[in-house]
A = this chain, B = another copy of it.
Amino acid sequence: MHEKCGVVGISLEDRDAARPLYYSLYALQHRGQESAGIVTHDGFQQHSHVEMGLVGDAFGPGDLESLNGSNGIGHVRYPTAGSVNTCCAQPFSVSFKSGSLGLSHNGNLVNADEIGDELADLGHAFTSDGDTEVIAHDLARNLLEEDLVRAVKRTMERIHGSYSLTIMHDETVLGVRDPQGNRPLCIGELDDGYVLTSESAAIDTLDGELIRDVEPGELVVLHPDGTGYDTYQLVEQANTAHCFFEHVYFARPDSTIDGSLVYEVRRELGRKLWKESGVESDVVLPVPDSGRAFASGYAEAAQDAGSDIEFAEGLMKNRYVGRTFIMPTQDERERAVRLKLNPIKSTIEGKKVTIIDDSIVRGTTSTQLIQLLKDAGAEEVNVRIGAPAIVAPCYMGIDMASREELIAGDQSVEEICDEIEADSLSYLSIDAIAETLQTSKADLCLGCVTGEYPYDIEGEETDREVTRPEIGEEPTVADD
């Protein structure tokens, strides 16, 4: 169970931004189902609507009507629990003496408590323990003394961690990506304006065109009249720390992130998976829906290599999985996994089977699934995973599991294979990931697969010399 928030910001020429924001959030719904919100500004005042629930439930037609203004930002929130508390109900909005601020955040700060304490000492009252409120207060404070660009720069110098932000200061929409580019953020062009968003699929939904990713450490300021945007490279860092898991799991297959189309990346990872650890069997089954693209690449590579292996949809997913539901207890006869996935016997019975998925977190589901396939008559069950083993928790905004809960936390691949009772098990190599993404490993955040993080996290090792960001020189202004 690992996902994350989605952010968006839109400036249009002369129509209201509320509906395009709404459709964008719908396109980003997979990044967060707990709450949805939109904040707009009509040039005179700010309007806000934030509610718990899915986008479709959070907004009624009247809510969109009352969100006046051609500039706005939006947010969908993923429900986190425990220590890796990524985001809070958003956009966070605050009216302060020099105007109003709205903030949508995807990511996780490492030093939020520290900054929060400083601000509390200065008299700031916080309504939550969320990172976002800390960023908003810090920025608002800076705005009392500085112009917009300098104020953002000062805040970026203080906060440390992963963040992609869309911000609204009065009617101006901004986008900021952390200096290491951990979380995605891109900019797109519409017929009558510009959009900043976590994933390019949201731009497609608006019939717009992806322009490019926002650069790590870059600030993008949309013109409130929808006619263009300015960019400022505020902070430079030697290396990036892109999250490779966006490509493997989080993002929609139809999004392009840091230059790569996610669907093609997954197919290629599947192909590499065959090359690295392909195993002959009668049939390849994706674990739906996450394993589908990997499995089709794997099967294709196998067939290209002359294998007779068949690609089939042998596991039927209950499409209502993921909603509120009372799971069976251990001693109930119903098996939890069977509520999610039902094997199609004719595809499996008497056959050697290979199942393909993107990851194994706790291992419980895998164990149950393999048992299920054997009960359905599979002679052999091989497991191939389209990513390296997850050996450590994520601190950057993804709620995976604690180290103790991770099946690969302290076990070898052989031990895991034994535990889940598979006939064989292989993970993809880290090199295959870097190669497919055409990136150096030094430019990826590999914390969850190496245990070494690109940020300074108490009690954890880091894989780089972490410096507070360097401050950029001259703002550059883009043409539109």
A327-364 vs B, CB cutoff 8 Å, 1 = contact: the mask equals 01000111100110011111100000000000000000
- Could you tell me the distance between the alpha carbons of A319 and B60 in the complex, rounded to whole angstroms? 20
Judge if A233 is at the interface, Cβ distance under 8 Å. no
How many copies are assembled? 4
Q: How many residues of A contact B (CB 8 A)?
A: 81
Judge if A245 is at the interface, Cβ distance under 8 Å. no
Judge if A250 is at the interface, Cβ distance under 8 Å. no
- From B61, B123, B190, B328, A44 is in contact (CB under 8 Å) with B123
- From B20, B170, B207, B342, A201 is in contact (CB under 8 Å) with B342
Q: How far in angstroms is the closest Cβ of chain B from A162?
A: 25
- Could you tell me the distance between the alpha carbons of A69 and B347 in the complex, rounded to whole angstroms? 38
Q: Which of A296-343 contact B (CB under 8 A)?
A: 296, 311-313, 316, 318-320, 323-326, 328, 332-335, 338-339, 342-343
Known contacts: A23-B328, A190-B333, A344-B254. The answer to whether A318 contacts B29 by CB under 8 A is yes
Q: Are B96 and A45 in contact (CB under 8 A)?
A: yes
Judge if A56 is at the interface, Cβ distance under 8 Å. yes
Q: Are B333 and A191 in contact (CB under 8 A)?
A: yes
Q: Are B170 and A316 in contact (CB under 8 A)?
A: no
- From B205, B263, B313, B347, A338 is in contact (CB under 8 Å) with B205
Q: Are B57 and A324 in contact (CB under 8 A)?
A: yes
Q: How far in angstroms is the closest Cβ of chain B from A433?
A: 20
Known contacts: A253-B316, A263-B313, A344-B261. The answer to whether A22 contacts B326 by CB under 8 A is yes
Q: List 19 A-B contacts (CB under 8 A).
A: A26-B318, A27-B339, A43-B123, A44-B124, A45-B95, A45-B140, A54-B323, A55-B320, A56-B323, A59-B326, A66-B127, A95-B100, A204-B338, A205-B342, A207-B338, A252-B342, A261-B345, A261-B346, A289-B319
